[in-house]
Amino acid sequence: MVSHSKNKPSYKISTHQYFDELGALFTLLPLTTRMISSPGAVYGKYKISYTTDTVPIKLRWFDLEKPAFLAESSQIYLELALLQYGINHVYAIYNSFRQEQVDPTHLSEFHHIEYEGKVTQERNMEIILGLIKKIVKDLLSYNENDLSYFLNNDDLKELESVTKLPKIPTVTFREALEQLYQDTQDRRYKLFTLKEFGRWEEIRLTEINGGIIGITEFPLLEVPFYHASVPDKEPQVAENTDIIWPGYIEIVGSGHRIRSFKELKEKAEIFELPKEDYEPYIQSRRYQRYVESSGFGLGWERFLQGILKMPFIWNVAHFPRIHTTLKP
């Protein structure tokens, strides 16, 4: 799927072209950090086994007392990059590392396309759809023969239909649970929690809704700490959206970021974030140039797996890194 021909853009070229037109700044970021973007799995007193927080990979950094983490997302640093004068959009294409056992839809090391901008979550969703359309259009225009090796004509038509979507249809998490209950009559889905919400549920929701679907407003304390809350909702829910590819699982996680210093400080206390590590991020809300932002991360291998309808995610990685070996 990656060609060196000038006439056949790879996903990186398509992504760069798209964000160049948006006026976004490509940003080089560290792969080691103390500020992981999903710290609830490590620090939070609300740490729960089914949270969508991810567990980072620790490593020793020279002779420092505290460990460093390999980045599992670039989102926090992209937010800080937005503090630069005159910069309204930033993006990165980077490796991400997660201490997860490899399964058909997860890799221990994968690639993220990540964006952060001084935009609303509504505009953020438009940018996500625009990127998906751009990549799919370029694949269909320049790599149709390659796609035909994996997909039949009906598959190609189904893929092309994504490029004609006016917007990504969405349901709230509560509505999604109700759809699952109506479908199965299983009373597990009467509980407003992510505890019983996994791969099967995501796939089934794309079948119920007839294609790609966005799920919004997850329980606030069961998703990463940086998501803003939707005002005047009880129980509290996040202003976020996960996008599920038809027949597969989440390919994009997105959301609006916590707006104020007060709210971010309170959230840091709930998750028991180490103050000395997260202070630069927390203090960003007091910065004179701070403007509210939204952003997203698109997992490239997961997206490509869905496009090609492959059963195993490691089939779409040139050198898949899995938890049982360091060899290619």
What is the average pLDDT across 83-89? 96
Q: Residue 49: what pLDDT?
A: 39
The pLDDT of residue 5 is above 60: no
CATH number at residue 105: 3.30.930.10
State how many domains the chain has: 1
- Whether residue 44 is predicted with pLDDT greater than 80 in this model: the reply is no
Question: Tell me, what's the pLDDT at 328?
Answer: 73
Which carries the bigger pLDDT value, residue 69 or residue 3? 69
Domain extent at residue 79 = 11-316
Q: Which residues, at least 6 apart from 199, have a Cβ–Cβ distance to it below 8 Å?
A: 105, 249
User: Does 325 map to a domain?
Assistant: no
**Residue 141: its pLDDT value, please?**
94
pTM: 0.92
- Whether 50 shows a pLDDT value over 80: the answer reads no
Q: Is residue 4 part of a domain?
A: no
What does pLDDT average to over the chain? 90
45 against 295, higher pLDDT? 295
Domain assignment of residue 35, yes or no: yes
